[in-house]
Amino acid sequence: MRAVVTVTGTDRRGIIAKVSCFLAERNVNIEDISQTILGDKFAMIMMVDTSESKMDIAQLSKDCEEMGRSIGMSVRIQHEDIFNVMHNV
C-alpha cells in the first residue's frame, strides 16, 4: 500500500536521518521525498510503500506521531487515497 508521510516543525540537524531510519526499521520503503526549509521551518513529504511492513496503517500512524513528539516534530502517515482526497481542491 502506498502512503504519504509528512514531517513539519522547526529545522534541526538529523531530521531526515531519524525519520528514514524509523521507517526502515518498520520495513517501510521510501519511494520519493521532497523537503524544504523556510527560515527555521522544516517541511518534508515522503511517498512510501508499506506493503512489506508487518504493521497496519493505524499502528504506523500512532508510532509516527509518538516518534515525532520525541524529536519535536509533527510526523504523520496517511493512506495515499486519503491524503489525495484531503488535499484536492
Give per-residue pLDDT as tens, 48-57.
999 999 999 9
DSSP code, position 56: -
Closest CA to 79 of 64, 58, 53: 58
Give per-residue pLDDT as tens, 2-52.
999 999 999 999 999 999 999 999 999 999 999 999 999 999 999 999 999
Strand pairing class (2-10; 74-79): antiparallel
Look up the CATH number of the domain holding residue 45: 3.30.70.260
Separation CA 70–CA 38 (nearest Å): 22
pTM of the predicted protein model? 0.89
Separation CA 53–CA 7 (nearest Å): 20
Tell me, what's the pLDDT at 79? Answer: 79
Tell me, what's the pLDDT at 89? Answer: 56
Show the cell assigned to 65: 506521531
Q: Name the domain count of the chain.
A: 1
Domain of residue 18 covers 2-87
